[in-house]
Structure 1
Amino acid sequence: MKDIHDIKFQNGTKQELLSDLTPDFPYIASRVELDKFTGCFVPWHWHKEVELFYLQSGVLEYYTSKGKTVFPAGSGGLINSNILHMTRAQDSMNTVQFLHIFDTSFIAGKQGSRMEQRYITPIIAAPQIEIIALYPDHLAQIQLLNKIHESFNLSESDFGYEMKLRAILSDIWLHLLTMSLSSLEKKGHYNKINDKIKLMMIYIHEHYAEKISIAEIAAAAFSSERECFRAFRHCLHMTPAEYIKSYRLQMACSMLAESRESITGISHACGLGSSSYFGQVFREHIGCTPIEYRKKWRNSDI
């Protein structure tokens, strides 16, 4: 299991870059330490692969377009395919999450197979299912949570590891499908606003260093400015301007930690203007000056 302290994104998007996932074995196991992420949160992103998780310690907040779901230690769940989401540790100390991230072909087999049609597609094609939450105080869910927890104990060095992993993930999936039957009976309607917000986010990610107008963001998704505001409020629970600022600060944090560029250079590269304004905004949102942040990050690396 790989320890994760940050995530990478595909160029120009917020689709997570899963470089360790390969066509012959479309699966990754990760141990995520949220307190080592910048700001103790994972920014808004999405991926085609599903995300099955167990919270080992701490309290974790998952955000989707439908709002916030809180997971205490011992709980777990599933994030569906292509769902826009972010996570935040409620407490900055010792929030540890175990993750299975896998393409559903890993358990379904060939595309269009009976396995895929009967057991996989009903969940990943259901717009009403963004997240499935499992809690240890629900008697019917304890056994499934134990199974998810145990699934992370499989060792890659064991003979038959891949077969055992596929078997246990298939068993977990079948239980999740059974639990979801009542939700699946209530036919959901696909909301095109989710596609639009992704297009708008991609535009911001490609042009964050420049001056960006709401009209330009809206045009990237063939929408009006009014629709643009509604999409950001509905999906990200913030305004477009707030998202632009937060994204610029994310990029600034990365540059401060990973480069030796001057503070002035970083402030202009992130589209945050003068170094004095950059320092003011950075302190307001991050809680320290850019120089203090850079020193803190480098000391933690040492």
Structure 2
Amino acid sequence: MSIVLDHQLREQIPPDILDFPVAFYSDELADLPDRAGPVHWHPYFEIATAQSGVLDYQVGQTHIRLEPGDSIFVNQNMLHGIRQLSGAAPDPLPILVFSGTVVAPEHSAVYRKYIQPVLGCSTLPFVVFRHDSDLWQAVRQQIHRACDAMRERPACYELTVQRSLCSVLEAIFRHLDSLPPLPSSRVQLTAQIRLQKMLSYLYEHYAQPVTLADIAAAAHISRSEAGRCFQAYLGCSPVEALIQYRLQRAWRMLQETDMTQQEISLACGFHSVQYFRRQFRKRYGCAPGEKRKLGK
């Protein structure tokens, strides 16, 4: 199953998650340019595991290095993204995206007592479960069990997944007071909200002419402040982020459609096919036509 993002970089979680609030993804990095996914967010918990490569998992402004066997839990609504740093092949990267309602309904006492404190903890943007940590050995086993059940879907797999994720959340809750706090200042929280607004605008209007002033206006801030937000979280300017996303969209179109380069260029907001080709080669080291041949 592929991760699909809406224009606001929120994952379009499959509709059946309403029946069973867990989604499973794998092998995403193989289809992503440079084995890197865009920064996005969603109102669910996320657990991802590095299997064969070394990964850079960004949560907010923090970059976490995941070695093979390491897993990470990301709290809801946190900006996050992934990039593979090393490894001969794309890491399978099994990912579980799930709601706390997999444990109990939101209106229940169990949810209020055990889930709400986790998702409402402002000093807990993420938890890393290291492969060489005895403390998290049981948690990692439960994560693997849940991923295997979601992948293979044997009889009663939902109950297996529910038990496993319940165990993971219980472990986090039990260690909530002893986990190292990662507080975000008011300035950081404000910057993240502003960035989310600007990213939402940028990804909704990428096919149209977009200026730095347009992006900044989406968050009601100055162009210089917009630049600081993008540099702090993405390490690039707003205009560079726009070009990167346009190129990512073009990469997908080259793989998934029979549109001409001229059509793709226009659909992705480039003012000329020649400029599109130059930017594509600069970013990916090959021409769009070469990528299409390799992709097919």
TM-score, scaled relative to structure 1: 0.88
Q: Tell me, yes or no, if structure 1 residue 66 matches structure 2 residue 64.
A: no
Aligned to 1:256: 254
Q: Residue 24 of structure 1: which of 19, 22, 26 is its match?
A: 19
Q: Which runs of 5+ in 1 are unaligned?
A: none
* Structure 2 counterpart of 1:79: 74
Cα deviation, residue 267, structure 1:
1.8
Amino acid at match of 2:280: F
Counterpart of 1:289 in structure 2 is 287
Distance in 2 (CA, whole Å) between partners of 1:96 and 1:42 is 14
Provide closer, same or farther for how the CA distance between residues 228 and 188 of structure 1 changes in structure 2, counting only shifts above 3 A: closer
Query: How far off its partner does 1:244 sit?
Result: 0.7
The SS at the match of 2:56 is: strand
Question: In structure 2, do the counterparts of structure 1 residues 188 and 290 end up closer, same or farther at CA, with 3 Å as the change threshold?
Answer: closer
Change (3 A) 1:200 1:42: same
The residue aligned with 1:54 is 49
Query: CA 1:294–1:224 in structure 2 vs 1: closer, same or farther (change >3 Å)?
Result: same
Change (3 A) 1:148 1:22: closer
State the Cα RMSD in Å. Answer: 2.1
Deviation of the 1:165 alpha carbon:
2.2
Contact preservation (8 Å) 1:56, 1:95: yes
Normalising by the residue count of structure 2, what TM-score does the alignment of the two structures yield? 0.90
Aligned-partner SS, 1:47:
coil
User: Once structures 1 and 2 are overlaid, which stretch shifts more, 183-192 or 136-145?
Assistant: 183-192
Equivalent position SS for 1:140: helix
Post-superposition shift, 1:235?
2.3
Listed one character per residue, the Cα deviations across residues 258-294 of structure 1 (whole Å, up to 9, x for unaligned) are 2222212222322222222211111110110010011
Residue range with higher mean Cα deviation, 288-297 or 133-142:
133-142
How far the C-alpha of 1:20 sits from its partner, in A, is 4.8
Q: 2:92 maps to what in 1? A: 96
Query: What is the percentage of aligned positions where both structures have the same residue?
Result: 27
The verdict on how the C-alpha distance between 1:153 and 1:267 changes in structure 2, with shifts beyond 3 A counting, is closer
Deviation at 1:188, TM superposition (A): 5.1
Partner of 1:106: 102
For the Cα contact (< 8 Å) 1:127–1:189, is it kept in 2?
no
* Structure 1 residues 7 and 110: CA distance shift in structure 2, 3 A: closer
2: CA distance, partners of 1:234 / 1:178: 33
1:156 maps to 153
**Structure 2 stretches of 5 or more lacking a match?**
none
Q: What is the CA deviation profile of residues 160-199 of structure 1, one whole-angstrom value per residue up to 9, with x for unaligned ones?
A: x323321221111111222332358786556132222111
Aligned AA for 1:176?
A: I
In the other structure, the counterpart of 2:121 is 126
Secondary structure in 1 matching 2:26: strand
Query: Which structure features the higher share of strand residues?
Result: 1
CA–CA distance in 1 between the matches of 2:42 and 2:115?
A: 16
2:138 corresponds to:
143
> Residues 188 and 268 from structure 1, CA distance in 2 versus in 1: closer, same or farther, beyond 3 angstroms?
closer
1:91-130 per-residue CA deviation (whole Å, 9 max, x = no partner) reads 35141122221111111x2223222222112221223322
**Is the CA contact (8 Å cut-off) linking 1:65 and 1:236 kept in structure 2?**
no
Query: How big is the shift at 1:14?
Result: 0.8
Distance 1:275 1:203, change over 3 A: same
User: Which secondary structure does the structure 2 equivalent of 1:53 belong to?
Assistant: strand
- Could you tell me whether the CA contact under 8 Å between 1:54 and 1:74 is conserved in 2? yes
2:247, 2:18 → 1: CA distance? 35
Q: Distance in 1 between matches of 2:210 and 2:192?
A: 21
Q: Specify the alignment match of 1:165 in structure 2.
A: 161
Residue in structure 2 matched with residue 279 of structure 1 by the alignment: 277
Deviates more, 1:181-190 or 1:144-153: 181-190
Structure 1 segments, 4+ long, off by >4 Å, are: 183-190
Q: Which amino acid aligns with 1:158?
A: A
